[in-house]
Amino acid sequence: MKFLYAAYTATWIIHISYLAFVLRRYIRLRNKIQELNQK
C-alpha cells in the first residue's frame, strides 16, 4: 500500500531534516571557533 511506504518515508525525511539542521549549525559553529582561534 503506498500510504504505508509514504508514512515510513515521511517519518525518516522528518528525522533526517532535523539532523541536517543540527549538522549545519555545528559546521557553522566550528567555522566560527576556527575564526576565533586565529584571532
Partner 1 sequence: MLRRAFPILGVLTAALLSYGLYEALIGAPIEQSMGEVQRIFYYHAPSAWTAFLLFTVNFVASVVYLIRRSIKADILALVTAEVGVVFCTVVLVTGPLWARPVWGIWWTWDIRLTSTLVLWLIYVSYLMLRRFSSSGQTPLMAAVLAVFGALDVPLVYFSIWFFRTQHPQPVIGGGGSIDPKMLQVALINWAAFLCFAGLVSWSRYRLELLQREVEETEALEALLDSGGAP
Q: Which residues in this chain contact partner 1 in the complex, by CB under 8 A?
A: 1, 3-4, 6-8, 10-11, 14-15, 18-19, 22, 25-26, 29, 32-33, 36, 39
Supply the minimum distance, in Å, between the C-beta of residue 2 and partner 1: 9
Provide the minimum distance between the beta carbon of 37 and partner 1 in the complex, in angstroms, as a whole number. Answer: 10
- C-alpha cell at position 29: 559553529
The one-letter amino acid code at 37 reads N
Continuous H helices in the chain: 2-38
Minimum distance from residue 32 beta carbon to partner 1 (Å) = 6
Question: Phi/psi at 36 (nearest 5 deg)?
Answer: -65, -35
